Amino acid sequence: MTTTWFILARAVHIGACLLFFGMIAFDRCVATAVFAGEKSEAGGRWRARIRLLNLILLPVILLSGILWFTMVAVTMSGQPPQFDILKVVWSQTQFGTVSKLRLALWLAAAVLAGPLSFSRWRPALQVFLSRLQLLLSGALLGSLAWAGHGQENSPWHLLADVLHLLVSGFWPAGLLPFALVLHNLRRGSGPVRWDLIAVLVRRFSAISLGSVVVLVMTGYVNSWFLIGSFSNLFQQTYGRWLVFKVILLGFSVAIGAVNLLRLKPCLALKKIEGPESAAAAAQLQFNVQAELWFGIAIVVVVAVLGILPPANR
């Protein structure tokens, strides 16, 4: 039962951190370009939704982080949660030190979320605060590397782990905001803005393609340090779970390739209308939702891998 709660806490916390960074990164790197100079219904809905989701994700990050910390203390002590044990883990372990740093980052992000969500600032100041929130959310996500296997071997492994986490915030975590914006653009009360859909697809496709390349490279580096030998991929529990993760990633990448090679050309023009475009947009929406389910499964596998000893031990 403890293991189940441990995996659940890690999966929810990692997923929430990915989405928190991913929503903000998508807003700065994609949505800003899509809705630049626009006062469309879809743009207004997106801005309202990102404020709401960020305010939801912050408490989820905190509560799942507390549960994760508690499960670590229970695992270390072999006893039910007790204040004295939690205090020792908090003050005398590396995990406790990392938790303090991450709590400070969370507090800074939470303090900034209020003014960004409920106050109107001058455009220049709004951009500065948004970039600061992007930096804080990225630091909160990247610092997860110090709570996993990345800190155990070498600085290069740690760097690869941090980069792997951050890039995952763009893809696959960015699939959720992409799906939300695409849905808003297709289902608005006015005519479908095919020009905005074209910008959305072109921009996100470029980011996704770059993200997949970096994920493969950093994933290979991580495997080099954690697996030890090819046979360990199948002989060790950690290796088998890693193979499962790679399979899930492969399915997700395959769907993304269909989006890139088949559907993007149908939606990449500035002005496109007609049944072919509508069908391509509907298929893209369905494919992105399928990718999201694979992404959720990958996060759960990552949560399992984090509590298993590496295969090279």
Q: Residue-wise pLDDT tens for the chain (313 aa)?
A: 668 888 999 999 999 999 999 999 999 899 888 887 666 677 778 888 888 888 899 999 999 999 999 999 988 888 888 888 899 999 999 899 999 999 999 999 999 887 776 667 676 777 788 889 999 999 999 999 988 765 556 788 889 999 999 999 999 999 999 998 888 888 766 677 777 888 888 889 889 999 999 999 998 888 888 887 778 888 888 889 999 999 999 999 999 888 887 877 777 654 455 666 778 888 888 999 999 999 999 999 998 988 888 866 6
Q: Taking the model in full, what pTM does it have?
A: 0.91
CA nearest neighbour of 309 among 232, 226, 231, 246: 226
Report H helices in the chain: 2-26, 32-34, 41-77, 83-92, 94-118, 123-142, 155-170, 175-187, 194-227, 232-235, 237-258, 264-267, 275-306
